[in-house]
Amino acid sequence: MWLIRRAIRASPLYILLAYALAIVVFAGLYTLWPRSFHHPYIRFEPAARAQKAALESDLRRAIVAEFERRPKLSDTVSYRNLARVEILGEQDSRLLGAAEMMVEFTATENRLFVLKVPLLIFAFDAAMLADQPGTPVPIYVTADPNRQVEDESLPPHPSDARQQVANVVTHAIERVQLDKREAALAASVVCTEQGITCGTLGNFGRMLYFSATTITTVGYGDVVPLSGIARFLAALEATVGVVLLGLFVVSLGAARSDAAKADR
């Protein structure tokens, strides 16, 4: 009771400061358990889209560099150009992608093939790559065995030629190597596609936003607590917010009442 009376008699400014402090403290606590929160819309945010675009650009650059270095993929298939590389999504902690490229087939007569090659990007974070600083890491990109190479040539080529070219190109993709930075970037894209954050770095601002929407009981739903500790802290913060807001209103009324008495 004594504590409640003291809180009611506290300056409204002090209660507002306590309110702001609670937002910061709870945000700090949330960052300790980054994987206890789901961010269903994170992949649509500008920063996440820019990150995916950067990875697509890096992958295209890596494939072009390797294929231009050795353009003859086999005795009958030669690389011509790569139009684009696209990240399609995430599955089982791996990225699904596609590369649209042109190759020349010279088995019987010169034929140009326009192919859409399914890619599988294996992502490992920087900590797992610490024992290989600055060196290329092989087989981070490979052709997806669960999806077929699509022949987008017009007119379409015979099926036997198409299969032969697809086999050569999918095998050649395994020559591509990514460096440590690119592999870590792929790991970050995997996290955003899964709706999680890969650690506390850069996560405090997001948790500060979640803390503010929780303590004010707004709850937009773009950050969702999943674990027991995360849900407990979110419920506790919402309760603290309601209590502090009530104390602020009462304290403000008491301050005005005291001011009115002093004027008499």
Domain boundaries, the chain: 2-40+198-263, 46-193
Distances (CA, A) of 2 to 7, 9, 13, 243: 9, 11, 20, 16
Residue type, 100: E
Q: 228-263 and 12-30 are packed helices; what angle lies between their axes, rounded to 10 degrees? A: 170
> How much is the average pLDDT of 52-69?
94
Average pLDDT value for the chain: 85
pLDDT at 124: 67
Which are the contacts of 219, defined by CB distance < 8 A and separation ≥ 6? 213
CATH of 2-40+198-263, one of 4.10.320.10, 1.10.287.70, 3.40.50.300, 3.40.630.30: 1.10.287.70
Contact 32, 191 (CB under 8 A): no
**How far is the C-alpha of 172 from the C-alpha of 189, rounded, in Å?**
25
pLDDT in tens, 120-174: 998 765 555 445 554 444 457 888 889 999 999 888 888 888 999 999 999 999 8
245 in Cβ contact with 215 (< 8 Å): no
Residue 247 and residue 10 in contact, taking contact as beta carbons nearer than 8 Å:
yes
What mean pLDDT is predicted for residues 185-196? 89
